[in-house]
Structure 1
Amino acid sequence: MEKKKVALFLPSLVGGGAERVMLSLASEFAEQEHHVDLVLAKASGEYMDQVPANIHIVDLDTSRVLYSLFPLIRYLKENRPQSVLSALDHTNIIAICAVTIANVNVRTIVSIHNNLTHLSKVKKKRFVTQWIPSLMKWSYKRADKVVAVSQGVAEDAMQRLELPEEKVQVIYNPVVDERLIEKAAEPIDHPWFADGEPPVLLAVGRLTPEKDFPNLLRAFAKLRKTRPARLIILGEGEKRAEMEKLIIELGISQDVQLPGFVNNPYAYMKNARLFVLSSLSEGLPTVLIEALACGTEVVSTDCPSGPREILQGGRYGSLVRIEDSEALFQAMKERLDMPDNGTNSESYEPFWKTNVSRQYLDIL
């Protein structure tokens, strides 16, 4: 295979799903001996210490992605990568603008990780939604390819951004590899996972409105009235204070923990009795796939887009309506009442990193 010079462009390496996907792709590309530049608007974030030594970090050192436009143009002119892959809406726009202004021969791939229609409803009060869609319509048509992380995301993007079908390609996220399996097997030093303790339910994600963790907390409060159980939510974000207040109001402080970001969530997943996704909107929820790969049974909201595709319409886990704490409670209770049969390896087969990285390299 011809060795390529590939640039992956991101705002930073904060602990989000898209950032983890891009770092995973960068690692796979570098392992196949391609030259990989990880270009960051700001070289910061929880994943910085996870960047392999064979990946070159380019720090544009800007306080906002918007300000990275001209530094990115300079990078493109001086380094001439063969292709650029970006993720996240505003970052994609800047990447395409930079390639256009730099006037260099660079193949540009942008990736969409969320259902744009439903995400805009969640973020409807934010000023950014007033101008981002128009810029996305203009810029995405100038990309060589638009990657959608699920079929639902692809269909939504084609309709919302008026993209031709041949411009869009569905490539699932690169989630599963031997390293994940190995890390899941590592011991976990947490008293709640000791033998004889009540079952632990786990959720993982940034504490943001679209994850709808308050709905999960209400459902767990209902569950806690019927049986001993505990809930751990891993992640950090703007809704922490609001969630902590709700936990107190619901009277479940003794049975809920919010440890923040952890370096190895897979050990938590493997030891949890049940993994729960409560989101209002997703693209292709990586954590749901990771939980399946760790052998943990799952309950998920049937939000757009991704969970229904991942769980094959309910074949590999329970699907419930969004914003329905009663339905979520019932699904969790039913799963806990059933024997723990683990998960089927077929459920995460489409998400092996080597297969996914090959698809990306084909279009890069």
Structure 2
Amino acid sequence: MLVVADFTGNQGKAERHVGPLARVADPTMLCVNPPAAIDGVDIETPPTVGVRPLDLLILSLFAVVECVRRDYAAVCSFSLFPYGCAALVAGRVASVPTHLGVIGGDIDVHATGYYGPAVRWLMSRFAVVSVPGTASCRKLDALGVRPGRVATLTNPIRPAAFPAASPVSHRPIDLLWVGRFSREKDPVQFVDVVAEIVAGAGRGDLRAVMVGDGTERAAVESRIRHHGVGDHVELPGWVDDPTRYYRNARLYVLTSDREGLPLTLIEAMATGVTPVVPDVGNVCDVAVDEQTAVVIPGGETAGLVEAAKRLLTDDDRRTTLAENAMSVRETYSYEAAADDWRRILAAIGVPGIEAVDTGTAQSRATNVLSE
């Protein structure tokens, strides 16, 4: 398998997306900014000149040459621009199936933009397009994207990295927010939620933590000052490993307007944090209302506030949801992602690959394949 991708030196993202494939096939990863070694993955870097557009052009040409020179069974990629386009050309030249892994804004930004018709046409040229959840499958169908197959592909975690924490009633952080401070993730709304709980419930001792950084940090700090909740909201900045925050939190609150399936949600659930989330993107594939989470239709501030207030005073309900949430440790594991890859590669006819059916909820979701 040839993998055309670049994760800008993000070791964790490279391992999550390509590592499970190495459990199924023999991948060679072609990239401009190589990560450190990944078990079972050969990493190759084409020549670079230090000018990104030229480097990407060289990468694309190198992918074509590599496909012609060696006998690959398929070409995989992540993100349509530019890596998916390079993979599509290379696969067509070598007459082998092509895969596009949708991440970021491929669907919600590019496929729905003013240039959307060209994007949707390109996506329809792949043998298979993988997405992070079933909502994305339905959205592609509604947009008229018609590749050979559409399938969900697990964005996995290593469960050992997120050991179950202490009982939820003994954790010092009441509300936790983790992510990039950007408009689509709406971190300002989280500050509004904190302020309403402090004022409405008389929670002068409430402790909230926002882990992350980004372009909306100034707006977040301004809203904190506006509400006068500086004593309640901590901003530790970007943290490479937020595990210690998960282990000390009672509730994980998501405020995004647009999402695929946030890895921070899966990590928090694996640690045993009760999620309060909107029904956005593919969130409801993992956060099932009143089973593993409390889901707020539309993600309105009032709904998030009311749910958080109830859960903070109901230890039994919060504990039950937190314990149920930890089921993601199995359904979003590297083993589950490897099973997804088996189904995807078998569906496009890669020799020697046989799909398996593990019977898990995520595996059943992954079986949603459309002609």
Please give the range of the TM-score, normalised by the shorter of the 2 chains. 0.7 to 0.9
Contact 1:73/1:98 (<8 A) preserved = no
1:299 matched to 2:272:
no
Aligned residue among 215, 237, 244 for 1:238:
215
1:110 matched to 2:100:
yes
Q: Corresponding residue for 1:205?
A: 179
Matches of residues 186-335 of structure 1 in structure 2 within 5 Å?
Answer: 198-225=172-199, 226-227=202-203, 228-303=205-280, 305-322=281-298, 324-335=300-311
Q: Corresponding residue for 1:23?
A: 15
Matches of residues 86-235 of structure 1 in structure 2 within 5 Å?
Answer: 86-99=77-90, 103-113=93-103, 119-120=108-109, 129-131=113-115, 133-163=116-146, 167-175=149-157, 177-182=158-163, 198-225=172-199, 226-227=202-203, 228-235=205-212
Matches of residues 73-84 of structure 1 in structure 2 within 5 Å?
Answer: 73-78=61-66, 80=70, 81-84=72-75
Contact 2:152/2:340 (<8 A) preserved = no
1:241, CA displacement in angstroms?
2.0
TM-score (norm 1): 0.78
1:156, CA displacement in angstroms?
0.3
Partners of 1:258 and 1:82 in 2: how far apart?
Answer: 48
**What amino acid maps onto 1:279 in structure 2?**
S
Residues 87/212 of structure 1: CA separation in 2 closer, same or farther (3 Å cut): same
Q: Structure 1, residues 36-60: CA drift from partner, whole Å, max 9, x if none?
A: 43433444xxxx56x5465444445
Q: Corresponding residue for 2:56?
A: 68
SS at match of 1:287: helix
Aligned pair count reads 330
Residues 162/240 of structure 1: CA separation in 2 closer, same or farther (3 Å cut): same
SS at match of 1:281: coil
Residues 34/146 of structure 1: CA separation in 2 closer, same or farther (3 Å cut): closer
Partners of 1:116 and 1:322 in 2: how far apart?
Answer: 22
Partners of 1:265 and 1:208 in 2: how far apart?
Answer: 18
Partners of 1:91 and 1:258 in 2: how far apart?
Answer: 35
Partners of 1:65 and 1:343 in 2: how far apart?
Answer: 48
Contact 1:11/1:41 (<8 A) preserved = no
Partners of 2:38 and 2:254 in 1: how far apart?
Answer: 30
Partners of 2:91 and 2:24 in 1: how far apart?
Answer: 28
Identity %: 22
Contact 1:9/1:95 (<8 A) preserved = no
Q: Corresponding residue for 1:9?
A: 5
237-246 vs 74-83, greater mean Cα deviation:
74-83
**What amino acid maps onto 1:263 in structure 2?**
D
**What amino acid maps onto 1:172 in structure 2?**
T
Residues 213/285 of structure 1: CA separation in 2 closer, same or farther (3 Å cut): same
1:218, CA displacement in angstroms?
0.5
1:295, CA displacement in angstroms?
0.9
Aligned residue among 353, 356, 359 for 2:334:
353
**What amino acid maps onto 1:244 in structure 2?**
E
Q: Corresponding residue for 1:192?
A: none
Matches of residues 333-348 of structure 1 in structure 2 within 5 Å?
Answer: 333-339=309-315, 340-341=318-319, 342-344=322-324, 345-348=326-329
Q: Structure 1, residues 343-362: CA drift from partner, whole Å, max 9, x if none?
A: 22435532122122222144
Partners of 1:130 and 1:258 in 2: how far apart?
Answer: 37
1:87, CA displacement in angstroms?
2.3
Unaligned runs of 5+ in 2: 346-371
Root-mean-square deviation (Å): 3.2
Contact 1:136/1:161 (<8 A) preserved = no
1:155, CA displacement in angstroms?
0.7
**What amino acid maps onto 1:169 in structure 2?**
A
Q: Corresponding residue for 2:360?
A: none
Larger Rg: 2
TM-score (norm 2): 0.77
1:109, CA displacement in angstroms?
0.9
Residues 34/172 of structure 1: CA separation in 2 closer, same or farther (3 Å cut): closer
Contact 1:112/1:153 (<8 A) preserved = no
Partners of 2:180 and 2:221 in 1: how far apart?
Answer: 14
Q: Corresponding residue for 1:191?
A: none
Contact 1:116/1:157 (<8 A) preserved = no
1:149, CA displacement in angstroms?
1.4
Partners of 1:162 and 1:75 in 2: how far apart?
Answer: 25
